[in-house]
Amino acid sequence: MASSSVPQGRPETERPQVLLLSPPSAELDEVLSARFELLKSWESPLPLDRFLATHAADVRALLVINLFTVDGALLDALPTLRFVCTTSAGVNHIDLAECARRGIAVANAGTVFSQEVAEYAVGLLIDVLRRVSACDRYVRRGLWPRGGDYPLGSKLGGKRVGIVGLGSIGSEVAKRLQAFGCPISYFSRSRKPQFPYTYFPSVADLAAQSDVLVVACALTHETHHIINKDVMAALGKEGIIINVGRGALVDEAELVKRLMRGEIGGAGLDVFEHEPAVPEELFGVDNVVLSPHVAMQAFESSSDLSRLTAANLEAFFSDRPLLTPVPLPA
């Protein structure tokens, strides 16, 4: 890891500076403010380019809140930067190749959100199958007295679930769905013999043998639109897609088209390809559950994230190994 020694001219007792380009939560702000000098771009009267230029000679650590893009242009403006810490588990918003080329270490949220996201994925699946949100709308609109019983949904138990990406989130999803009596299969970059699930070497083969696909892999160039028209066709018109990874893992236009035609049984979507824009065609569809990218957000995980973020920053400034380093391309 690149050295994080205090720049010449700065007293050793001075708190290390951390650059932020978007506001953190109140809890994270409080935790970090006690240990670091936070440079908050949004509080400055200067435009961002001038704010960055003002601090370019000193900033060695950047804290990325949510999915703020870290690309070559931003890194060019911060020539002394040596560490990027993001509060998300995914890192598709960070140009890892550029970070590697410049000797910049990267850390993420690790597995802090894994259980929360897994729970949310199961919740979305139950909602789609049992039509919980649709039933709620039916009652609230006063339709029950006039329309009678709402159409039946499907049970979760026994559904064949295929998980795309058996990492920390996917394995937690599998563990929970096993308790419902769901046979579990998966696609991952490689077979994972530590898990007692059926492995498929292609997503289309996995879809052909599944009633449900839960998408939980990282977004990379290779996984962009990994759920494409061939996979959707293999899943079939009764199949369900749950996406708690990133929106661009699914060919959103193709999914919308198939949902409108009745060629997919339903979907539970916490993420979208062009957030916060959501295809309006889905707003009136009762077999689709929509959620504003909140699967990882729970009260309990907020404190864990704050502690982990502070610990990663302290490790960097103390030249100790990062707690949740992100592997960089060679």
Catalogue the active-site residues: 246, 275, 293
Closest CA to 172 of 191, 153, 195, 152: 195
DSSP notation for 10-51: S-TTSPPEEEESS---HHHHHHHHTTSEEEEGGGSSS-HHHH
Angle at 277 between CA 274 and CA 279, to 5 degrees: 95
DSSP notation for 184-247: EEEE-SS--TTS-SEE-SSHHHHHHT-SEEEE-PPP-TTTTT-B-HHHHHHH-TT-EEEE-S-G
Main-chain phi, psi angles of 213, to 5 degrees: -115, 125
3-state secondary structure 153-190: CCCCCCCCEEEECCCHHHHHHHHHHHCCCCCEEEECCC
- Say whether 105 sits in a helix, a strand or coil: strand
DSSP state of 280: G
As given in the structure block, the two tokens for residue 68 are: 């703020």
